[in-house]
Structure 1
Amino acid sequence: MITYQIEKNLAAEEFISVLNRSTLGERRPVKEPERILQMLEHGNLIITARDHNRLIGVARSLTDFTYCTYLSDLAVDLAYQHQGIGKKLIRLTKLETSKAKLILLAAPKAIAYYPKIGMKQWEHCYFIDNEEEIISS
């Protein structure tokens, strides 16, 4: 039986494990446990999916709970994908932040997934990836 809950103290090792068992580990600093720990400490809404206490999915967000929620990490163990777990994690995130707009950047392998579950695409997204790209005045 899969259970879902908000977790305030998710262990970095568990998070790294599920990232590696999903496609998201390819794009996260899984070889930098201190950085992962900071990601968990500063994410203020973490919803997990567990199968008999084993972490199989996680939605890690940064939110003000009223205007915007940035769903930074949505990871589901490959062995559990296509069972609605990711969709449920997104739904629970939205329910916790019902007044806020839910925003995420799709991983390349998940681009086709989000429209299928009813999310709208926004073409106006910009980012700075590292400190060398900071615009100087």
Structure 2
Amino acid sequence: MTIQYCFDTGITAEKLSEVFQSSGIRRPADDLPRLQKMIDHADLIAEAWKEDELIGVARVVTDFSYCAYISDLAVKKEMQGLGIGAALLERVKGTLGDEVTLVLLSAPNAMDFYPKQGYEKADNAFRIMRKK
């Protein structure tokens, strides 16, 4: 099985929805206009493809200089455990370089995944949750 990794190919809201629905990540997968906004306003989208099927995505908001927020990391359920998520994170890190701090919020069931990728747990974060 060959996985192709690339950036910003112009994925559709429909393809992103498929990845979100399959992965188990909690996102508004049935709200295609909102997903399209999420695509349009991301600064960097790392993608994993198996032939013409989008199987994984890392969506990033960044200034490309100081900080980057990895707002989504999702891999289709049947492709999880094959190193695709780790490869997407590594490509994001490689593209942004060592001067950029990477920040993310983890889903509770992924808390053990990120330390294995070199991420440190931070206890100094704050948030105001969205209403919808």
TM over 0.5: yes
**Paired AA for residue 53 in structure 1:** D
| 2:29 pairs with 1:33 | no
User: Which blocks of at least 5 consecutive residues in structure 2 are unaligned?
Assistant: none
Q: Alpha-carbon deviations, 1:38-96, whole Å to 9, x = none?
A: 01100010010001121000000001111001000000111111111101100100111
Residue equivalent to 2:45: 46
| 2:52 pairs with 1:72 | no
**Paired AA for residue 126 in structure 2:** Y
CA distance in 1, matches of 2:83, 2:76: 12
CA distance in 2, matches of 1:65, 1:115: 23
TM-score with structure 2 length normalisation?
Answer: 0.94
Q: Which structure would you say has the larger Rg?
A: 1
Q: Which runs of 4+ in 1 moved over 3 A?
A: none
Alpha-carbon distance, 1:8 to partner? 4.4
Task: Give the superposed CA RMSD.
Answer: 1.0
TM-score with structure 1 length normalisation?
Answer: 0.90
Residue equivalent to 2:128: 128
CA distance in 2, matches of 1:10, 1:16: 10
Secondary structure, counterpart of 2:94 in structure 1: helix
Secondary structure, counterpart of 2:48 in structure 1: strand
- How do 1:2-17 residues align onto structure 2 when only pairs under 5 Å count? 2-17=3-18
**Paired AA for residue 48 in structure 1:** E
